[in-house]
Amino acid sequence: MTSLSPDPLEPGGVARFGERLRRGEITSEAATRAYLDRIDVLDPKLGAFQYLAGEAALAQARAVDALLAAGTDLGPLMGVPVAVKDIYAVKGMPTTAGSLVDVGDMIGGEGSFVQALKRGGCVILGKTKTVEFALGVTGISTPRGTPWNPWDAEVQRLPGGSSSGSAVATAAGLCGFAIGSDTGASIRVPAGFNGVFGLKTTWGLWATDGVFPLARHLDSIGPITKTAEDAAIVLSVFTGEAPASPPPLTGVRLGKPEDYFYRDLDPVAARCMDGALAALAEAGVEVVPIDVPEAPEREKYFPKVLPACLIAELGRERFLANRERLDSIVVARGSAGLDVPASEQIALETRRREHMRTVAARFDGLDGWVTPTTAIPPMPVSDLADVEKGMAVTLRLTQTSQPINYLGLCGVNIPIHRYGSPLPVGLQIVCPAGEDRRLAALSRAVEAVVGAPSKPDLHAFL
C-alpha cells in the first residue's frame, strides 16, 4: 500500500508547528514537501486543488527558512503551507473562479489579503477548487469538477460550497489551513460537511480586492482551519490584535433561535446538537430560547439579489454568450437575475438594512447564538443530479447559515459529529457584527468542551 506522509501540523496545529520551526525540529521546506507528497497521493481522487504550484512553493519555503535562520521572524504563520480558493489572484498562478469563461478582468492583480499572507511568511501551495463564480452551496460544479468529500471513499458526498476545495484540502491534511470566502454560507457549510473549523468574518473586516466579486456588499474572507485555535491565530495576524483568551463558560449565555434555525432538522443532526448542547450546559453555559423573526427574510432576498449581482458583475452579454459553457445551476440561478427590477433590489436591500439594525436587540443579555450549521449531513452527490432538486436542497442547506449573511453577523462552524454521526455535523456559534475576536475566543472555549472531532479515514483513498 502507498504510504502517506504525516500531516506536519498534527498534532498541535499552527502554534505547535511554530514552536517546532523555531527550535529547528522542522523546516518550512520539509513541511511543504510533506504536503506536496500528501497531495500527490490523495488529490487524484479528492480533486481539491485546481492548480498546484509545487516548485514555487518549495522555493518560497526555502526563502522563509533562510529568513528565519538569518534572524528574521515574520510571525505566527511563518512557514505554514496554505491553500487559497481559486477566486483569489495570486501572482504567477491562473485564476479561473471555477469557470471555463475568462473572468480575469473582473479580478485584477494580487490583492491585499494574499499579499498579507505572503508578508506573514505563509507558503502558498496552490489554488483550491470552487463552485463556479462562488455561486453554490452544495459544492457541485461541472466546469472544473466537484471535489470528493474525504469522509466516504465509496460514495461521493457533497463537499459543500462554494469553498469546496478549501474545506476538502483542510480536512484531508493537504495544507496547514485554507482560505475561503463566504457570501451566503460558503465557508461554514463546506467546513461543516468536511468536519473542520470555518470562520465567516464580519463583512468589511478584510478588503476583497483581487478577489472575484459575487456580491461586493456581502462577500467576506475567512479561514478554514483544523481547529478554533488555528483560526484565532490567523485572525490575530490579519487584525494585528493578540488572540483573546477563551472565556470561562460558567455564566455564558447563548441564545437558541428555535423558531427557524432548528426547523426540520435531520434526526442525526438533531441528535448531535442535543449532545453538544447538553455538554455545554454541563460546562456552565445557559442556553436561552429566543426568536429571530428576521431570519426567514433571507428566502426572499438571496434568490433575487445574488443572481442580479452576478449579472451586474459578469455583464448581461458575457452571461448570455457563454450559457452553454456554464454550470447548469449557475445558468438557472443567473438567469433569474436578468430581469430583477432595480426598484425591487433596492427595496430588498433597504429591508435588509432595517433588519441588520433590529437584530442587535436579539443579542441583549447574550454572549452569542448557538444553532446547527446545516440541517442535514452531507448527502450523496448523485441525489442532486436533477437541477430542480439541487435548487431545493440549496434552500434547505442554507436555512441556518444564510441568515447570518443576511443580518451582517459573524459566525463559525465547530464539528460535533462525535455526538452520534459517522459523517460530519456542525454547530454554529454566531456573534454580532464586529465581534470576530470575541467569537474566536468563545469558539475556542466551546471547542474545548465538545472535543476534538475524529478525522476521516484517508487510508481508504490510498
Q: Which residues of 349-365 are buried (b: 16+ CB within 10 A; e: fewer)?
A: eeebeebeeebeebbee
Query: What are the CA-CA distances from residue 18 to residues 31, 54, 126, 231, 250 (Å)?
Result: 11, 22, 21, 15, 32
Measuring CA to CA, how many Å separate 304 from each of 297, 342, 387?
12, 11, 18
| Per annotation, catalytic residue among 162, 163, 236, 421 | 162
User: Taken in order 355, 333, 261, 259, is the CA torsion positive or negative?
Assistant: positive
Catalytic residue of the set 163, 164, 166, 186: 186
DSSP of 302-320:
HHHHHHHHHHHHH-HHHHH
162 tagged catalytic: yes
Give the DSSP per-residue string, 327-351.
-HHHHHHHHTTTT--HHHHHHHHHH
For this structure, is 186 an active site residue? yes
Catalytic residue among 85, 129, 200, 226: 85
Q: Which residues contact 274 (CB under 8 A, 6 or more apart)?
A: 419
For the record, the C-alpha cell of 313 comes out as 458583475
Residue 176 CA to residue 45 CA, distance in Å, equals 20
Q: Quick one: cell of 215?
A: 456580491
Catalytic residues: 85, 162, 186
